[in-house]
Structure 1
Amino acid sequence: MQAVPAQATGHYHERPVAPFLRDWFSAVWVHQLPEAAAPPVVVAPDGTIDLQWIDGHFRVAGPDKDPQTEMITAGTAVIGFRFQPAAAAAWLGVPANELLGQRLTIETVLGRKGRLLDADIRHRPNLAELIASLEKSIADHAHCDAADHTMQAAFRLIGGGPPAAAPLIPWLGRALAMSERTLRRRFDESFGYGPKTLDRILRYQRFRRLSRNSETTTAMLAAEAGYADQAHLVRESRRLTGSTPAQLERILAGER
């Protein structure tokens, strides 16, 4: 069975997490896979790290810099808690580069604390009650250092896009008052990879946001998102998703 982008199968929705979790998590999302045979799904890098509830257990979905293909049982509801930028490393007590490309059980990452977090969840008759129970359990077991606010600022800087023609690393170094060596180390610890990789990922996310409900040409959207030209966008789209923007739009429209 051919793999498809994750957003092309099943039903997906998200909302903000409960207020008591917002220092650490930005959203909770649910991806309900179809009851019929579910195809393998391709998960594209998006610059985030998730704590996921799947098959009755928590796992950590680490940062990705390449597309990942996963096979998830038909009918499964995956519940994800998306960490705030640069918050996962402090909450988990593990540098993000040690989680790069990984899907790890919570026990593998947190040891006994992870076992207790898993064990605290009881069966709930509906999805809303289950999510509320998961949020409470996460809050009850959260005893961690403060999030790295400097690296959260770095994420926002890159998300907004560097000034035109400004070399990325020197620009970030000046903005954050860091040497290049320190900058790269802090990025590895907070995001799992360096500034240039995060810039590529967030630039593509910018393009995807701009392209939703837009009648503008792909070439113009590419320029607005920060690409040198449309060919640059196509190369990066293949690298991050395995598909060109046109192929991805056809898949999402059901024209496989």
Structure 2
Amino acid sequence: MRIRLQLPFAAVALPPASLAGSIRAYITKDTSGSPRKGESINRYPASVYCGIAWFLEGSSERVEPGLPSLQPLPSTLLLGPQTRPWVTRNPGPVRTFGVVFYPQAFHRLTGLDISTLVDGMFPVHGVLPPDWIALCEQVRLAPDDTARMALLEAFVARHAHALQTSAPSVRATATRWLHELQVHASAQGLGGSLRSLERHARTWAGQSLRRLGWLSRAETTLMQARQRSEASGQAPRWQDVALDAGYADQSHLCREAQRVTGESPAELARRVQSEDESYWLYRLWT
């Protein structure tokens, strides 16, 4: 059975264990049946992941501070790793389906240099290989989200088998994949040269090992803090959270959380618990 976290208008589903080393999650959103017909705002954190999003109904625009106008996003959108938090706007109701990939898996599956995708939001045509373009069209035309997941999983399974990739546990943490990237480099004889490892890390995952490390640690820390808070019914003690996660102090955690989410941990927790729908992904993801 899939692990599925759900809000009234959005959900996150996990892939089968056999593909958990390639696919991180699926994200769906459907406001087409909502009585609220106005625009909606979506807030996203900086991320190490790559993804593809299909706007099956409605459209989306990127809200970029400092720019005089909104940037329309493609109806089938390729997302590279993002180095800062970002915001989109839906002018009206939407129905979307998205798949999130670990970056080194996306590199293996597509052959793309992930460093060329960092902070990018591209139409899939002209970027992805032809077999991926065909897959994207099949996913768009599929009758429902279950069929879309099945198409993606069959496609990834064929490619992963051909590449002889291994998969971690379905419950792998956000930092587990980073360790596996380093192991993969060592297995190819790259572990003895830091410069070589860094160069390959940028190709496989788009960013330096240092940046990948703190992005992944921040995601894991905020996720675990929320889970423990919900289990105990008490607000997190951020000083203790910081020390348990290996940060120098609470200020260190706050600085890195600000870089990833645009908010301090305490303010992010407050907003996630509020009725502000723009933080819907944080509610699901963490």
TM-score normalised per structure 2 = 0.67
Query: Which one of the candidate residues 254, 257, 262 is aligned to 1:234?
Result: 254
Percent identity, aligned pairs only, is 20
Report the counterpart of residue 43 of structure 1 in structure 2.
44
Return closer, same or farther for 1:176/1:121 CA change in 2, 3 Å cut-off. Answer: closer
TM-score normalised per structure 1 = 0.74
Is the 8 Å Cα contact of residues 24 and 102 (structure 2) preserved in structure 1? yes
Report the counterpart of residue 194 of structure 1 in structure 2.
208
Secondary structure class of the residue paired with 2:119: coil
Report the counterpart of residue 159 of structure 1 in structure 2.
175
Return closer, same or farther for 1:248/1:209 CA change in 2, 3 Å cut-off. Answer: same
Q: Deviations along 1:173-204, whole A, 9 cap, x unmatched?
A: 8x973311111112111211001111111111
Return closer, same or farther for 1:136/1:108 CA change in 2, 3 Å cut-off. Answer: farther
Q: Aligned equivalents of 1:106 and 1:12: distance in 2?
A: 23
**Aligned amino acid, residue 248 of structure 2:** A
Is 1:181 equivalent to 2:181 in the alignment? Answer: no
Is 1:31 equivalent to 2:51 in the alignment? Answer: no
Q: Give runs of aligned pairs for residues 98-137 of structure 1, distance below 5 A.
A: 98-110=116-128, 112-121=130-139, 123=141, 129-137=143-151
Report the counterpart of residue 76 of structure 1 in structure 2.
94
Report the counterpart of residue 146 of structure 1 in structure 2.
163
Q: Number of aligned pairs?
A: 232
Gapped regions of structure 1 (runs ≥ 5): 1-8, 163-168
- Structure 1 residue 99 displacement after superposition: 0.7
Report the counterpart of residue 4 of structure 1 in structure 2.
none
**Aligned amino acid, residue 245 of structure 2:** A
- Structure 1 residue 253 displacement after superposition: 1.9
Is the 8 Å Cα contact of residues 174 and 220 (structure 2) preserved in structure 1? no
Is the 8 Å Cα contact of residues 107 and 114 (structure 1) preserved in structure 2? no
Report the counterpart of residue 77 of structure 2 in structure 1.
59
Q: Give runs of aligned pairs for residues 233-252 of structure 1, distance below 5 A.
A: 233-252=253-272
- Structure 1 residue 123 displacement after superposition: 4.9
Secondary structure class of the residue paired with 1:31: strand
Q: Which of 66-75 and 240-249 deviates more?
A: 66-75
Is the 8 Å Cα contact of residues 42 and 70 (structure 1) preserved in structure 2? yes
**Aligned amino acid, residue 78 of structure 1:** T
**Aligned amino acid, residue 55 of structure 2:** I
Secondary structure class of the residue paired with 2:84: coil
Return closer, same or farther for 1:121/1:255 CA change in 2, 3 Å cut-off. Answer: closer
Return closer, same or farther for 1:122/1:199 CA change in 2, 3 Å cut-off. Answer: closer
**Aligned amino acid, residue 229 of structure 1:** D
For the aligned residues, what is the CA RMSD? 3.6
Is the 8 Å Cα contact of residues 40 and 91 (structure 2) preserved in structure 1? no
Q: Aligned equivalents of 1:58 and 1:19: distance in 2?
A: 27
